[in-house]
Structure 1
């Protein structure tokens, strides 16, 4: 099973990827380099109520995250159509990325083969592309509070 010990590490350059967002447009992590910090969120998908609560929590403070010069990219194993439905239904302003093949989820070391999905996780990636914070849940519903994420972002500005 992939676990945090195998995940991309603190201070490492975040692995680049190319995925489609909820509008079917290609998104590459490297396109954000030298522009903004990135909160890279891995969630289990729309079928998971904890994931939807987490997206809502991030959505509540989205403008504050933006004021800290950060953007949010949220990745799930859902396909593009499901990501579009989620973005519309929950009025998500940030990019929801589809990783139905779970390649990025596995590359970041947050794939849980027992669950056939990802562990809810977040990586804060600075403008230079380095990982400055990571959290990988060990229990359903375990997510970091927004203020912890904001504190980390403040240190990067």
Structure 2
């Protein structure tokens, strides 16, 4: 499909969540603001920091009508361990075959050796309002919060 950009309609997709259940984006699309973030790997310093930010801001995002979805190529089992260890209250999707990463056009970083970190914010109409690409997890925090508040 190529790289998803601001103004694009979010494609429909599905994957296994941290509980091994099938999750389909259509179940929340056009009902909530969506924060979809691709991250490199469970339980690494930057990824843990990013997940804990979403955990700590979760109630605020829910109050704003937003749903948080994290995606990496880790297994369902790895995601479950990550969720349990850090008490993550949101959906983690397993993209072991990297098909979602490819669907969104998420690039690899660090000389192509490490999966990229990209956050998408999608409005209730299913239109992408923010695409933020930075390997520095903390750079995503204010951008995401601003984008969600702007949609209110």
Fold shared by both chains (TM-score > 0.5): yes
Residue 41 of structure 1, CA deviation: 0.6
Hey, which bits of structure 1, 4+ residues long, moved more than 4 A? none
Are 1:102 and 2:95 an aligned pair? no
Q: What residue number does 2:24 align with?
A: 28
Paired with 1:13 and 1:60, the residues of 2 have a C-alpha distance of: 29
**Structure 1 residues without counterparts, runs of 5 or longer:** 1-5
Q: Is the 8 A contact 2:132 2:140 kept in 1?
A: no
Q: What residue number does 2:48 align with?
A: 52
Paired with 1:151 and 1:46, the residues of 2 have a C-alpha distance of: 25
- Secondary structure at 2:139's aligned position in 1? coil
Number of positions where the alignment pairs a residue of Structure 1 with one of Structure 2: 149
Q: Which one of 35, 59, 79 corresponds to residue 83 of structure 1? A: 79
- Secondary structure at 1:74's aligned position in 2? strand
Residues 23-46 of structure 1 show CA distances to partners (whole Å, capped at 9, x for unaligned) of 111111121122101000101111
- Secondary structure at 1:144's aligned position in 2? helix
Residues 112-147 of structure 1 show CA distances to partners (whole Å, capped at 9, x for unaligned) of 1821x521110001111110001011xx43443533
Residue 150 of structure 1, CA deviation: 2.0
Q: Which one of 114, 119, 123 corresponds to residue 116 of structure 2? A: 119
Paired with 2:150 and 2:11, the residues of 1 have a C-alpha distance of: 22
Paired with 1:146 and 1:79, the residues of 2 have a C-alpha distance of: 25
Q: What residue number does 1:7 align with?
A: 3
How do 1:109-148 and structure 2 match up within 5 A?
Answer: 109-112=105-108, 114-115=112-113, 117-137=114-134, 140-148=135-143
- Secondary structure at 2:101's aligned position in 1? helix
- Secondary structure at 1:124's aligned position in 2? strand
Q: Indicate the larger mover: 47-56 or 85-94.
A: 47-56
Q: CA RMSD in A?
A: 1.6
Residue 48 of structure 1, CA deviation: 2.6
TM-score of the pair, normalised by structure 1: 0.88
